[in-house]
Amino acid sequence: MQTVEPITLHAARARVAELSAAKSSLERALNLAVALNDGHTDLNELNRAAHRLANDLAAAEDVLREATEREVAAETQRNRARFAEVTTELRAARAKFAEHYREAALALGRWYSLGEEAGKLATALANPLGNGGFYYPPDLKNVLAEASEDPNPLPAMKDGGYSELQTAASWRRHAVIVPLKEKR
């Protein structure tokens, strides 16, 4: 058995528009012929043509309704498939973020701990001055300056071509990285 390709939504809309225009035109001709009543126009034939056109239009509207329902069903199916993909990717992204957050918090904690230790060691290695202060040679001073820098990479990332994502819930979607260390 050979299957017939269903009419596309666009073709069904075009057919309904075409038949609606033809029906309107025929009804105007029929109304004009009735008004003139000149005896030269076969009113029965015009009336039969109007009925045929009305039946064709009703059938075309049914086809349009079916095509619309198929299109809506197909769109729903596409949306369900994409939703499943997005859900899987959403969960993976959250897990990846949680892991990166953990690593970032531990790395920041380690960086602060090492900075504090570097400060203590630099003070121990500095040359005492007669007034109670210390002279830090350039190698020590440079490391202390580096340890005191703001570790936040956000400004550099924005300068590097990234921008904040703005969504309806952006106001609550910022994560603060807190320096952490493992409990002992």
Each residue's pLDDT tens digit, 55-95: 888 888 888 888 888 889 999 999 999 999 999 999 999 99
Domain that holds residue 133: 1-184
Neighbours of 153 (CB within 10 A): 11
Tally of domains in the chain: 1
pLDDT of residue 157 exceeding 60 = yes
Each residue's pLDDT tens digit, 126-138: 999 989 889 999 9
